[in-house]
Chain A
Amino acid sequence: MKYEAIVIGASSGGLNALTFLFSALPPGFSIPIIVVQHVGSRSDSQWIDLLNDKSKLHIKEADEKEKIEPGHTYIAPPNYHLLVEKDKTFSLAASERVNFARPSIDVLFESAAEAYKDKLIGIILTGSNADGTAGMQKVKACGGLAIVQDPETAESPLMPASVIANTAIDYVLPLENIINLLLKLY
Chain B
Amino acid sequence: MEYKDTSDIEISLLLDAVYKKYGYDFRQYSEAHIRRRIMNRLTLSGLGSISQMQDFVLHDKSFASLLIQDLSITVTEMFRDPDFYKALREKVIPVLKTYPFIKIWHAGCSTGEEAYSMAIILREEGLYERTTIYATDFNQQALNKAKEGIFPAGLMKEYTLNYQLSGGKESFAGYYTSSYDMAIINQALKKNIVWANHNLVTDSVFAEVHLVLCRNVLIYFERSLQNKVQKLFYDSLTNGGVLCLGSKESLRFSDLQGEYAVLDQKRRIFKKKYE
* Inter-subunit contact B248/A110 (CB<8 Å): no
Query: Does B79 reach chain A (CB closer than 8 Å)?
Result: no
B223–A84 contact, CB under 8 A?
no
Q: Is B160 interfacial (CB 8 A cutoff)?
A: no
CB pair A94–B73 under 8 Å, yes or no, is yes
Chain A residues with CB under 8 Å of B8's CB are: 86
State the CA gap A57–B254 with chains docked (Å).
30
Take A93-B73, A94-B216 as given contacts and tell me if A64 and B249 are in contact as well, using a CB distance cutoff of 8 Å: yes
Contact of A85 among B32, B75, B248, B249 (CB under 8 A): B32
Q: Beyond A63-B248, A64-B249, is A91–B75 a contact (Cβ under 8 Å)?
A: no
- Of the candidates A83, A92, A94, A110, the one whose C-beta lies within 8 Å of that of B75 is A94
Instruction: Tell me the bound Cα distance from A87 to B110 in angstroms.
Output: 30
**B91 at the A/B interface (Cβ < 8 Å)?**
no
6 A-B pairs with the lowest CB-CB distances in the bound complex, closest first: A83-B32, A91-B30, A111-B32, A94-B216, A95-B73, A92-B219
| Contact code string B250-266 (vs A, CB < 8 Å = 1, else 0) | 10010000000000000
Per-residue contact bits, chain A 39-66, to B (CB 8 Å; 1 contact, 0 not) = 0000000000000000000000001110
> B residues touching A (Cβ–Cβ < 8 Å)?
8, 30-33, 35-36, 73, 75, 216, 219-220, 223, 246, 248-250, 253
Indicate if the CB atoms of B31 and A85 lie closer than 8 Å.
yes
With A and B bound together, what is the CA distance between A83 and B73 in angstroms? 15
Known: A93-B73, A111-B36. A65 touches B223 (CB 8 A): yes
Q: Residue of A at shortest CB range from B39?
A: A110
Tell me the complex Cα distance, A65–B36, Å.
Answer: 17
Asked if A171 lies at the interface with its beta carbon under 8 angstroms from chain B, I say no
Q: Which residue of B lies closest to A93 (CB)?
A: B33
Contact B31 A93 (CB under 8 A): no
Smallest Cβ distance from B184 to chain A, in angstroms?
24
Q: Which of A84, A93, A111 has the most CB of B within 10 A?
A: A93
Chain B residues positioned under 8 Å from A65 (CB to CB): 223, 253
Nearest-Cβ distance from residue A144 to partner chain B, whole angstroms = 16
- A13 shortest CB reach to chain B, Å: 26
A77, A91, A110, A111: most-surrounded residue (chain B CB, <10 A): A91
A25 to B65, CA, bound (A): 49
How far is B30's CA from A114's CA once the two chains are assembled, in angstroms?
A: 14
Q: Does A80 contact B (CB under 8 A)?
A: yes
Task: Judge if A35 is at the interface, Cβ distance under 8 Å.
Answer: no
A85 CA / B219 CA spacing, docked (Å): 13
Assess the B33–A83 pair: CB atoms within 8 A.
yes
Complex alpha-carbon distance, A93 and B71, angstroms = 12
Beyond A84-B32, A91-B220, A107-B36: 11 further Cβ-contacts under 8 Å? A64-B219, A64-B249, A65-B223, A65-B253, A83-B30, A91-B30, A91-B33, A91-B219, A93-B219, A94-B219, A96-B75
Measured CA separation A96–B37 after assembly (Å): 11
Residues of B close to A114: CB separation below 8 A: 32, 35
- Give B226's nearest chain A residue, CB to CB: A65
Contact A85 B36 (CB under 8 A): no
A115 at the interface (CB under 8 A from B): yes
29 contacts between A and B (CB under 8 A): A63-B250, A77-B248, A80-B219, A80-B248, A83-B32, A84-B32, A85-B30, A85-B31, A85-B32, A86-B8, A86-B31, A86-B32, A91-B30, A91-B32, A91-B33, A92-B219, A92-B248, A93-B73, A93-B219, A94-B75, A94-B219, A94-B246, A95-B33, A95-B73, A95-B75, A107-B36, A111-B35, A111-B36, A114-B35
